[in-house]
Amino acid sequence: MTAVPLSRNRNYTLLWGSQAVSEVGFNASLIAFPLVVLAVTGSPAASGVVLAADAIAQLVVGLPGGALVDRWDRRRVMLWCEAVQAVSLVSLALALWQGSASLPHMVFVAAVMGACRALFEPAEDATLPSVVPDSQLATAVAMNSARSSVGQMAGTALGGFLVALGRWVPFAVDAFTHVVAFVGLCFLRVAPRPVTRAPMRHLGREMLDGLRWVWQRPEMRATAVCAVVLNLFFSAYYLVIIVLAQGRGVPSSEIGVMAAMLGVGGVVGALIAPHLVSRLSPHVCIAGVFWALTLLAPMAVFVHNGYLMGALFAGMALLAPTANTTISTHQLLLTPDSMRGRLSGVMNVVVGTAAALGPALGGVLVELLPGSGAVLLCAGGIAIVTVMVTVNPVLRAYPRKDVMA
């Protein structure tokens, strides 16, 4: 029997559509946050504190969040996350409108947003295999990646415009998008699953079970280690490129295009990912993005035009969805439903930690080395991990999706 296309899968379109709206609002408020904090407090350091609160909350809640998602009703987790974010954002929008917003209030809202994402993302990831058949899981994962890229591009562009209308406007719009997402998720229908009533003191053990599950599976361990190193060096590389572009006198408008082209490459890559995954071996799908980065990253030394650098960024992002689709599909199919929340929580924390440390590394490199030297050092780090991926016997024997299913 032929599976219903994803476009006609009611539950998947509800989940995808509700989060497409929510991600636009989230990215709009994310780009607005440092601008608004700076306007309210006059302190660039305060802007950093607010953004750090979001990132720290996401990392701190990541592991326990994944364990809780495996205990609780995942649809309710997603509904509560949307509701809590909407309420917190409304409180901030009202405070800004009345001129009474404070730094602690903004830090609190940022932390709430980070914590809710740390719960929502494992809940959505773990729910996905219950919403689509195994044969369409790779396509669903790729479409979710495209959704994130589109949300980032649209939300980032919208955020600056909304701030110009009023400091409170981006957060009011974000709150509205969470309300829309909440309503959409109310109509989502997922097969019921057992809800665990274990004492909270067992939560630490359950978190360790999630860590152990990832570590004891060689292909998960190998992909996690390589993803950490790649994210660390690429996050550093991204910051180095922005600083280098500013130093070369590249206009801010061109720098904005550079950043946007990462999203463009991600969207195009997500659209072609299902076709590449079905035609190429898993090892080629995974190694492809590493080799693309290795070949393209050093070219930034010779590129002085923001638009050309944007084209390089698009090329770097093009194959990332194919690798992510290959890895995520394999992990979801291999992992039992009772562990999928913890799997997502562990991977989010591991990769998120590397992405958070990367800009700090990039800042140090910019201080210690000339721009070209910092670029080449980051490119060298990416090249080293590319060799690791290419020769690693576990990744070379990575199982195909049809074998896993």
Predicted TM-score (pTM) of the model is: 0.86
* pLDDT of res. 197: 67
Domain identity same for 157 and 257: no
pLDDT bin (cut points 50, 70, 90) of residue 261 is confident
Within 8 A by CB and 6+ apart from 397, the residues are 283
Q: For residues 289 and 293, give the distance between their C-alpha atoms in angstroms, rounded to a whole number.
A: 6
Q: Using N-to-C axis directions, what is the helix angle for 203-215 and 218-247, rounded to 10°? A: 90
Q: Using N-to-C axis directions, what is the helix angle for 218-247 and 306-318, rounded to 10°? A: 180
199 inside domain: no
Total domains in the chain come to 2
Residue pair 328/274 in contact (Cβ under 8 Å)? The answer is no
Domain identity same for 19 and 45: yes
Range of the domain at 285: 209-405
Residue pair 269/391 in contact (Cβ under 8 Å)? The answer is no
217 inside domain: yes
Residue pair 331/401 in contact (Cβ under 8 Å)? The answer is no
* pLDDT of res. 293: 93
Token digits for 395?
């990744």
Number of helices (H), then strands (E), in the chain: 16, 0
Token digits for 313?
């960024």
134 inside domain: yes
Query: Which residue, of 191, 224, 250, is where some domain finishes?
Result: 191
200 inside domain: no
233 inside domain: yes
Higher pLDDT, 47 or 312: 312
Domain identity same for 166 and 236: no
Domain identity same for 161 and 17: yes
Mean pLDDT over residues 325-341, rounded?
Answer: 90
Domain identity same for 123 and 224: no
Token digits for 375?
């670029």
198 inside domain: no
Domain identity same for 234 and 154: no
Provide the mean pLDDT of the chain. 87
Q: For residues 25 and 249, give the distance between their C-alpha atoms in angstroms, rounded to a whole number.
A: 32
Domain identity same for 183 and 226: no
140 inside domain: yes
Does the pLDDT at position 115 exceed 80?
Answer: yes
Question: Is residue 347 classed exposed, middle or buried when 0-12, 13-18 and 19+ CB atoms within 10 A define those classes?
Answer: buried
* pLDDT of res. 292: 93
- How many residues does the structure list for the chain? 405
pLDDT bin (cut points 50, 70, 90) of residue 402 is very low
Q: For residues 80 and 403, give the distance between their C-alpha atoms in angstroms, rounded to a whole number.
A: 37
Q: For residues 70 and 343, give the distance between their C-alpha atoms in angstroms, rounded to a whole number.
A: 10
Does the pLDDT at position 88 exceed 50?
Answer: yes
Query: Which residue, of 156, 191, 226, is where some domain finishes?
Result: 191
* Residue 309 φ then ψ, to 5°: -65, -35
* pLDDT of res. 401: 55
* pLDDT of res. 91: 96
pLDDT in tens, 230-241: 888 988 888 888
pLDDT in tens, 173-218: 999 999 999 999 999 998 777 776 667 677 888 899 999 998 999 9
pLDDT in tens, 118-158: 999 999 999 999 999 988 898 999 999 889 888 888 887 78
Does the pLDDT at position 1 exceed 50?
Answer: no
* pLDDT of res. 405: 37
Q: 16-25, 147-156, 320-329, 393-402: which range is least confident on average?
A: 393-402
What is the CATH number for 118?
1.20.1250.20
DSSP 212-245: HHHHTSHHHHHHHHHHHHHHHHHHHHHHHHHHHH
Domain identity same for 229 and 367: yes
Nearest to 50 by CA among 93, 95, 102, 87: 102
Q: For residues 174 and 168, give the distance between their C-alpha atoms in angstroms, rounded to a whole number.
A: 10
Domain identity same for 263 and 331: yes
203 inside domain: no
Mean pLDDT over residues 274-294, rounded?
Answer: 92
Does the pLDDT at position 403 exceed 60?
Answer: no
Token digits for 213?
């599950």
Radius of gyration of the chain (CA): 21
| Count of Cβ atoms closer than 10 Å to residue 186 Cβ | 12
CA distances from 259 to 27, 252, 352, 363, 390 (A): 14, 11, 19, 18, 29
Residue pair 76/93 in contact (Cβ under 8 Å)? The answer is no
pLDDT bin (cut points 50, 70, 90) of residue 404 is very low
Domain identity same for 224 and 298: yes
Q: What is the distance of C-alpha 355 from the center of its chain?
A: 10
Query: Which residue, of 141, 161, 191, is where some domain finishes?
Result: 191
* pLDDT of res. 252: 67
Domain identity same for 155 and 71: yes
Domain identity same for 216 and 181: no
